Homo-oligomer: A and B are copies of this chain.
Amino acid sequence: MNFKGRDIVTIKDFKKEEIVKILDVAEEMLPIAHGKEKSNLLQGYIMASLFFEPSTRTRLSFEAAMKRLGGNVIGFAQPGTTSIQKGESLADTIRTAESYCDVIVIRHPKEGSARLAAEFAAVPIINGGDGAGRHPTQCLLDLFTIRREKGGIEGNKIALLGDLKYGRTVHSLAYALSLFKTEMVFIAPSELQMPKEVVEECRKNGAKLSIKNELDDVDGIDVLYVTRIQKERFPDPEEYEKVAGSYRIDMDILKNAKENMIIMHPLPRVNEISPAIDATKHAAYFRQTFNGVPVRMALLALILGVIE
């Protein structure tokens, strides 16, 4: 198992035992991520943070991860402050940026951008989300959250809810969960159900799956993973309102929930989860957001080769 210098474009770049290794290292990073211990592990290292589209969580948590470990960050939070508007190609921007850093995190609106960047760069590329494509560090922090909250990944019944068609988060997560012995339920309106390829791949990996169109109850569910249904997906606004409303998580839905069921969400949320849920022990989404820091610390430290 060797992480040094590797590109992280998709969660499929990792074998199961590599995922476990990253989560183990993330566990060790927790006191530093909480600011309770200081570290100079990445002192003198520079991460370039190239965000070609807006982001709060991914950008800030990668930067916090780097800085909590004593490292430095350069980059941009939007392409408008760069030479890209002068017509520079992505390949040239990447080959320029890599001159100034030890690792690049890229977020780009176009699917395949991270792969392209990895082909051109000699320094490791970490995909921070590329359009409808992949977002491997989100997947890792989701797995880390389940493991931390439930004491392990295996043996859980995990429902993925909402927009399973376009939500890049859930594709990677379903795949990753299929590597572990979990039971999954995909709950989405027919037009937004999990793509066939993902379902088949999960089945091939031996996952126990069921597919539903309605969130009638959460009986027996250990982890309820909620995603946002975007208005733009529906030609008819009324149709959207009806669908979105029927997937909204409120206090009512918790009546039949297992006592220790957790609710996750990649955030940002708009109306999918009632704020009343926030105060309940079920709400794991802000802890999930925090988990982005130790997971990204682990990944950076492994890829830069300062830990093995």
* Residue from A44, A46, A75, A269 whose CB has the most chain B CB atoms within 10 Å: A44
CA gap between A68 and B267 in the complex, in Å: 34
Contact of A88 among B63, B74, B82, B269 (CB under 8 A): B269
| Residue contact B75 to A48, C-beta cutoff 8 Å | no
Interface with B: A35-43, A189-197, A218-226, A252-260, which one? Answer: A35-43
Contact of A270 among B61, B87, B270 (CB under 8 A): B87
Q: Given that A51-B81, A100-B64, A286-B96 are known contacts, is A38 also in contact with B43, CB under 8 Å in the complex?
A: yes
Interface with B: A16-24, A52-60, A168-176, A209-217, which one? Answer: A52-60
Q: Given that A46-B67, A54-B85 are known contacts, is A61 also in contact with B99, CB under 8 Å in the complex?
A: yes
Total A residues in contact with B, Cβ cutoff 8 Å: 56
Q: Which residues of the other chain, B, contact A57 by a CB distance below 8 angstroms?
A: 83, 96
Residue A140 at the chain B interface, CB threshold 8 Å: no
Q: Which residues of the other chain, B, contact A80 by a CB distance below 8 angstroms?
A: 54, 78
Contact of A54 among B68, B81, B267 (CB under 8 A): B81
Q: Given that A96-B267, A268-B88 are known contacts, is A46 also in contact with B35, CB under 8 Å in the complex?
A: yes
Contact of A286 among B35, B51, B70, B99 (CB under 8 A): B99
Query: What residues make up the interface of A, taking CB atoms closer than 8 Å to B?
Result: 35, 38-39, 43-46, 48, 51, 54-57, 59-61, 63-64, 67-68, 70, 72, 74-78, 80-88, 91-93, 95-97, 99-102, 267-270, 275, 286, 289-290, 292-293
